[in-house]
Structure formats: C-alpha cells, structure tokens
Amino acid sequence: MTPYYSAPDTTMYVGDVLDALAALPDESVQCVVTSPPYWGLRDYLVEGQIGLEATPEGFVARLVEVFRDVRRVLRADGVMFLNLGDSYAGSASGIKPKDLVGIPWRVAFALQADGWWLRSDIIWAKPNPMPESVSDRPTKAHEYLFLLTKRANYYYDADAIREPLMGSSVARLAQNVEGQAGSDRAHGGSKTNGTMKAVGGARSSDKQDGQQVSGANKRSVWEIATQPFSGWHFATFPEALVEPCVLAGSRPGDVVLDPFGGSGTVSAVARRLGRRSVYIDLNPEYAALAVKRLEAVPLAMRL
C-alpha cells in the first residue's frame, strides 16, 4: 500500500486496516496506542468500517483479527495500550435491551485467548464526562485502557511516568519497596534490575545504588479530562492520556503505531516526544485533518 503521507518521523496510510498492516514488516513497531471505534455507537459513513457489526461477538471477532496482525508487527518486547468504551444493548443485538454489553472485557479476554498477555486494566476517569439523560443508573464517567504485551517480558519505563510524592510519603514508599521486594520473590516474582527501565516488571526499583525515590509507581486510575478539538472528528484521544503510554512504552526514536488513527493524536504526541509513528485510518477526511494537525507540531527528532 502506498503511504498517504510521509515525513522523516511519520508514515500515514489510508485504507482498510488489514491492508495497511500488511505493508508493515514483522517486528517493526515498539509501542501501539489506539482506540478503535466503539461498538454500535456511531456510523462514520465509510464502507468497511468497524463498529457496526450486528452483534458484540462479530465486533470482537473483527478486533481479534486486526490485533493478531498488530501483534505480528510488534517487536518481541513491545507493548500495546488499548482504549475501549462500553455500550448498552439495543433491541436488535441479541442481548436484552438496556443491558451493559461489557465490550472492553469481552475484547480483552478474547485477545488474551488469542495469545496476548493481559498485564493491566487502567481506568480512565473523566472529571468532565458527557452528560447523560438517565435516571436509573449512574452517569458513565470512565473508560478502560488495557496494557497488553506480546511476551511475558517486555519494555516498560515506569520511571518515565512516576507520580509525585507528598512529604512523608517518600519515606513510607522506600520502606514499602524494601518489604515488597522480599514478598515478590517469595511469591515467584522478579525484582527489576535497576539498570533496566523495566523488562516485564510492574515497577522499577524506587531506591537503588544510592539514588533517592523519584516518585510513586503510576497507579491504575488515571484522572484525565476529555479534550476538545477544533476539528470535526467525533471523539479524540486526550493528549494527556496518550503521553504516559508513549513515554512508558517506547524510547526516543522508537516507532509508535495507531491502527485506528482518527484525528492523529498519537502521531502528534509521538512527534512531540521524539518518537516515530505509523498512522492508519479508513477515512481520508480524518487523515487530512490529522496531517494538518501533525504539521503544526514541531519536529522533535534529529534524524
């Protein structure tokens, strides 16, 4: 497939995601950050789009097929951050109307069964959720972000996304780290080598070789406001949600892939942080919007 747009740090493809992925070599991508179309939510008026399958099972099967090829292009130590929102059943879905479908976990478990390592579920908590005219359930104010990997051991830079500590929390954390290290080993866990950013570990050492604690390991609830965008794309990733994924999942110069690129948030963040990126989207109008957005970001890399 011929690229739609090419720059020193960015390659963009417009077309079916499986056709575009076929153009990428095996193990050519270090990190994937993506948010596929949500099931049953919107019609993007593009033939072949994902998200309008008649049943949840059909939607899940299509995503498994896509992410199977994503796994092929992912490096052995690569990681994927997958954002998914949920849906409520209508009258023609094969599920009782008004039922919460559970799409995020259906997809996560299907990917796990297909060979992915499911390493973490992260809650994206929205302080400014979309209002809902409902009175028989709480307003939905969160989505899921799953950390999935190709292998049991993988690259994850916990230090790059540490959370600031407050006062005496520093001393308490240092004590907890020493106590937890023994507990990890007792339960068959492994202690991350301080010289490695993290290969398969849930955290880097907080105090090692005389260094002081630099912050707490990032927790699994991320409170991030939704981000308006001047373009007309229906739903955009907040850059604040993408940034920790890129920082933790890649090094400067690595390739970050978004197979459902939309308005180009992942490529824009990757450029700002000195990473390369590959963008794929089915809709040429979104791609044009993404190019305009990307070209407004200064090139951070020296190639």
Q: What is the mean pLDDT of residues 244-259?
A: 98
Read off the pTM.
Answer: 0.84
Residues whose CB falls within 8 Å of the CB of residue 28, separated by 6 or more in sequence, listed in order: 73, 75, 255
Q: How confident is the model at residue 4 (pLDDT cuts 50, 70, 90)?
A: very high
Interval 125-165: pLDDT, tens: 999 888 888 899 999 999 999 999 999 999 999 999 999 88
Q: Is the pLDDT score of 186 beyond 70?
A: no
Domains, the chain, with CATH or none: 5-162+218-294 (3.40.50.150)
Running DSSP on this structure, what letter comes out for residue 240? H
Q: Is the pLDDT score of 64 beyond 90?
A: yes
179 vs 62: which has the higher pLDDT: 62
User: In the chain, where do the E strands start and end?
Assistant: 5-7, 10-14, 29-34, 74-84, 117-125, 142-149, 221-223, 255-258, 276-281
Could you give the CA distance from residue 201 to residue 110 in angstroms, rounded to a whole number? 23
CA angle (11, 256, 16) in 5-degree steps: 55
**CA dist list (Å): 276 to 4, 236, 267, 268:** 16, 20, 8, 10
Could you give the CA distance from residue 92 to residue 97 in angstroms, rounded to a whole number? 8
CA 18 to chain centre: 19
Could you give the CA distance from residue 70 to residue 201 in angstroms, rounded to a whole number? 22
> Which strands make up the sheet holding 221-223, listed edge to edge?
5-7, 10-14, 276-281, 255-258, 29-34, 74-84, 142-149, 117-125, 221-223
Interval 82-105: pLDDT, tens: 999 888 877 556 788 888 989 999
Could you give the CA distance from residue 145 to residue 208 in angstroms, rounded to a whole number? 30
CA 200 to chain centre: 17
Q: Is the pLDDT score of 233 beyond 50?
A: no
